[in-house]
Amino acid sequence: MGDFVRVETNEGIGTIRLDRPPMNALNTQVQEELRAAATAVSADPGVRAVIVYGGEKVFAAGADIKEMADMSYVDMAERAADLSSALGALARIPKPVVAAITGYALGGGCELALACDWRVVAEDAKLGQPEIKLGIIPGAGGTQRLARLVGPARAKDLIMSGRMVDAAEALRIGLADRVVPAESVYAEAVALVRPYLTGPAQALRAAKQAVDGGLEMDLASGLAWESQLFAALFATDDRREGMAAFVEKRRPDFTGR
């Protein structure tokens, strides 16, 4: 698909694979290739779940600082929205998405992981938002998604200190969902999403939209949003199949329609 990001599809799982040695730094080209990959897996009906993976050694160690070092305020003002929206495209993939994290997920790499629904983390991995040490703050969703995930106090600690957390702390605070040996990270990510491959795709999409969209609303608006999505599923074949299977005491055969 691109020079540094490709999509590999196997048995319903689309793997968005970063490959920009040595550290998968997220320069402008990688950001736009991630956007293109997110668009591709979103549109492919053969992809039922997605894994974001940086390889056996490193997930992504951050943005390309050399690329940003000489940028002015005007330069970044023109680029910042595109940077954020590139990772936002991954967050909006209407399918289950898991980050398979080895090595480092720092700065933009951590923000990339935050854009996923879950994070499977290697036992020896390190995660963090060290941008403060460069005199800046996270600019691709880190201040917003991290606070929603681990709470504002913990997010401020990580962002304002710039410190890295190990896998055990990441699991304790909710930044990681599963911690496994490094050699098992990708296999564990596959195991996490495998149950969704034969699930009701429209309902899974609605569930993700309900949770993610509701986080941006007050409770009354979120409940109204949920009701709208809930009612819409009564137009799907999978809703009919799921309820028929329940009444007939058999396993449902969902088609994703």
Question: In this structure, are residues 81 and 45 in contact, taking their beta carbons and an 8 Å threshold?
Answer: no
DSSP codes, 69-112: TT--HHHHHHHHHHHHHHHHHHHT-SS-EEEEE-SEEETHHHHH
- Number of helices (H), then strands (E), belonging to the chain: the values are 11, 9
Q: Which of 49, 89, 131, 206 is catalytic?
A: 131
Distance CA(2)–CA(247), nearest Å, equals 48
Active site residue 111: yes
Active site residue 131: yes
What are the structure tokens assigned to 256, written together?
A: 């994703």
Collapsed DSSP state (helix, strand, coil) of residue 179: strand
Going by the DSSP 8-state scheme, the letter that residue 62 receives in this structure is: -
Q: Which of 54, 62, 108, 109 is catalytic?
A: 108
Active site residue 63: yes
Q: Which of 33, 111, 188, 226 is catalytic?
A: 111
Q: Which of 38, 63, 86, 201 is catalytic?
A: 63
Active site residue 8: no
Residues annotated catalytic, as ranges = 63, 108, 111, 131
